[in-house]
A and B are shown apart, each in its own frame.
Chain A
Amino acid sequence: MTSLKEEVEVLRRVPLFAQLDPAKLKLLAFTSERMSFLPGQDLCRQGDIGDAAYVILSGEASIIINQNGNEFVVAQVGENAVIGEIAVLCEVPRTATVRADTKLQSLKIDKETFIRLIREFPDMGIEIMRELADRLTKTTSELSVARSELKAATG
Chain B
Amino acid sequence: MADDKKDQDKVLPATVFQFAWMHTKKQQLWVLGIVLLSMPSYFLALDIPKRIVNGPIQGRGFPTEDSREIFLKIAFDIPAWLGGAEAAEPFVLFSGFSLDRWNTLVALSCTFLLLVIINGLFKFYINLYKGRLGERMLRRLRFELVDRLLRFPIPHFKRVKQSEVASMVKDEVEPIGGFVGEAFITPVFLGGQALTAMAFIMLQSAWLGLIAGGIVAVQAILIPRLRRRLVELGRQRQITARQLAGKVGELVDGITSVHVNDTSNFERADISARLGHIFAIRYELFQRKFFVKFLNNFLAQVTPFVFYLLGGYFALTGRMDIGQLVAVIAAYKDLPAPIRELISWDQQRLDVQVKYTQVVEQFHSDGMIDRQLQEATLEPVTGLRDGYKLNGLSVVDDTGNKLLEGVSTQFSLDQRIAVVGGLNAGGETLADVLARLLPENRGTIKLNADDLEKLPESITGRRIGYVPAEISLFFGSLGENLTYGLKHAPFKAKDYDEAGKKQRKWELAEAKNAGNSELDIAADWTNYQAAGATDHKDLIFKVMETLKLVDLASDVMNFGLKGIVVPSVRPDLVQKILSARKELKTRLAKDPYAEMVELFDPATYTVQATVSENLLFGTFLDGDFDGEQLHKDPFLHQVLKDNDLLQSFYEIGHEMASTAVELFADLDPGHPFFEQLSFMTAEEMPEYQAALTRLKGLVYDDLADADREMFIRLTFDYVEPRHRIGLLDDDLRNKLLKTRHAFREGLPERLQTVIEFYDPDVYNCASSVQDNILMGRIAYGVAEGQKTILGMLRDVLDEHELYDEIFTVGLEFNIGVSGKRLTSAQRQKLGLARALLKQPDFLIVNRALAALDRPGQEKIISDIVNNARSTEVNRGVFWVLASPVMAKYFDRVLVMDQGRLVEDGEPDELIAKQGKFAKLIA
Chain A interface residues (CB < 8 Å from chain B): 1-5, 7, 23, 26-27, 30-31, 33-38, 41, 43, 108, 116, 120-121
Best-surrounded residue of B662, B668, B720, B781 (most CB of chain A within 10 A): B781
Given A23-B663, A26-B663, A34–B724 Cβ distance below 8 Å?
yes
26 contacts between A and B (CB under 8 A): A1-B721, A1-B724, A2-B724, A3-B724, A3-B725, A4-B724, A4-B726, A5-B726, A23-B663, A26-B662, A26-B663, A30-B663, A30-B724, A31-B673, A34-B780, A35-B781, A35-B782, A36-B782, A36-B783, A38-B783, A41-B783, A43-B783, A108-B781, A120-B666, A120-B667, A121-B666
Once A30-B676, A120-B668 are accepted as A-B contacts, the answer to whether A23 and B783 lie under 8 Å apart by CB is: no
* Bound Cα distance from A31 to B726, whole angstroms: 16
Q: Which residue from chain B places its CB closest to the CB of A7 in the assembled complex?
A: B724
Contact (Cβ within 8 A) B781 A34? yes
Which of A4, A7, A30, A33 has the largest number of chain B CB atoms within 10 A?
A: A30
Residues A34 and B676 in contact, CB atoms below 8 Å apart: no
The reply to whether B781 and A36 form a contact with Cβ atoms under 8 Å apart is: yes
Q: Is B592 an interface residue (CB 8 A)?
A: yes
Determine which of B595, B676, B720, B725 lies in contact with A31 in the assembled complex, contact meaning CB atoms within 8 Å: B676
Collect the chain A residues with CB atoms within 8 Å of residue B761's CB.
none
Whole-angstrom distance from the CB of B689 to the nearest CB of chain A? Answer: 15
| Nearest residue, chain B, Cβ from A26 | B663
A94 to chain B, nearest CB (A): 15
Given known contacts A4-B659, A120-B667, A36 and B595 CB-to-CB distance under 8 angstroms: yes
Q: Given A34-B780, A36-B782, A116 and B673 touching (CB < 8 A)?
A: yes
* A17 vs B13: C-alpha distance when bound (angstroms): 85
Bound complex: CA A43 to CA B668 (Å): 33
Chain B CB count within 10 A is highest, among A31, A38, A43, A116, for A38
Query: Residues of A contacting B672 with CB < 8 Å?
Result: 116
Whether B590 is near chain A, meaning CB under 8 Å from some CB there, is no
B725–A4 contact, CB under 8 A? yes
Kindly list chain A residues whose C-beta atoms are within 8 Å of the C-beta of B662. 23, 26
Q: A34–B721 contact, CB under 8 A? A: yes
Looking at B659, B676, B724, the one whose CB has the most chain A CB atoms below 10 A away is B724
Compute how far the CA of A35 lies from the CA of B724 in the bound complex, rounded to whole angstroms: 13
B-side residues, CB < 8 A to A, are 592, 595, 659, 662-664, 666-668, 671-673, 676, 720-721, 723-726, 780-784
Bound CA span A34–B783, Å: 9
Contacts of A116 in B (CB 8 A): 671-673
A27 CA to B662 CA in the complex, in Å?
A: 9
Min CB–CB distance A90 → chain B (angstroms): 21
Q: Report A-chain residues with C-beta under 8 Å of the C-beta of B724.
A: 1-4, 7, 30, 34
Considering only CB atoms, which chain A residue lies closest to B779 in the complex? A36
> Which A residues are in CB contact (< 8 Å) with B663?
23, 26-27, 30
Please measure, in the bound complex, the distance between the C-alpha atom of A104 and the C-alpha atom of B782, giving whole angstroms: 10
A7 proximity list for chain B (CB < 8 A)? 724
B592, B671, B720: the one contacting A1 at CB < 8 Å is B720
CB-CB nearest 9 A-B residue pairs: A3-B726, A34-B781, A38-B592, A27-B663, A37-B783, A35-B781, A4-B724, A36-B782, A35-B783
Q: How far is the CB of B608 from chain A (nearest CB, A)?
A: 12
Cα(A27)–Cα(B595), bound, Å: 27
A120–B669 alpha-carbon span in the complex (Å)? 12
Distance to closest chain B CB from A31 (angstroms): 5
Q: In angstroms, how far is the closest chain A Cβ from the Cβ of B302?
A: 88
CB distance from A1 to the nearest CB of B (A): 7
Q: Which residues of B are found within 8 Å of A34, using beta-carbon distances?
A: 721, 724, 780-781
A3 proximity list for chain B (CB < 8 A): 724-726
A122 and B595 CA atoms in complex are apart in Å by: 39
CB distance from B521 to the nearest CB of A (A): 53
Residue of B nearest to A121 (CB): B666
Distance, CA A33 to CA B721, complexed state (A): 10
Given contacts A3-B726, A4-B659, whether A38 and B668 have CB atoms under 8 Å apart is no
Q: Name the CB-closest residue of A to B783.
A: A37
> Which residues from chain A contact B780 at a C-beta distance below 8 Å?
34
Given A26-B662, A30-B723; 11 other pairs, CB 8 A cutoff = A7-B724, A27-B663, A27-B664, A27-B673, A34-B724, A35-B783, A37-B783, A41-B783, A116-B671, A116-B672, A121-B666
Q: Which residue of B lies closest to A113 (CB)?
A: B673
Q: Using Cβ atoms and an 8 Å threshold, which residues of chain B touch A5? A: 726
Closest to B720 in A: A1
CB A35 to nearest CB in B, in angstroms, measures 5
Q: Give B406 Cβ to nearest chain A Cβ, in Å.
A: 51
- Min Cβ gap B782→A in Å is 5
Smallest CB-CB separation from B663: which chain A residue? A27
Residue of A nearest to B593 (CB): A38
Q: How far apart are A83's CB and chain B's nearest CB, in angstroms?
A: 13
Residues of A within 8 A of B726 (CB): 3-5
A2 to B673: give the CA distance in the assembly, Å.
22
- Contact residues in A for B782 (Cβ distance below 8 Å): 35-36
Q: List residues of chain B with CB within 8 A of the CB of A31.
A: 673, 676
Complex: A36 Cα to B597 Cα, angstroms: 13
A133 to B737 CA separation, bound complex (whole angstroms): 55
CA distance A110 to B726 in the complex (A): 23
Nearest Cβ on chain B to A48's Cβ, whole angstroms: 14
With the chains together, A38 CA to B720 CA distance in Å? Answer: 21
Q: Are B784 and A41 in contact (CB under 8 A)?
A: yes
A23 to B666, CA, bound (A): 11
Output the least CB separation between B327 and chain A (Å). 101
- A120→B667 CA distance, assembly (Å): 7
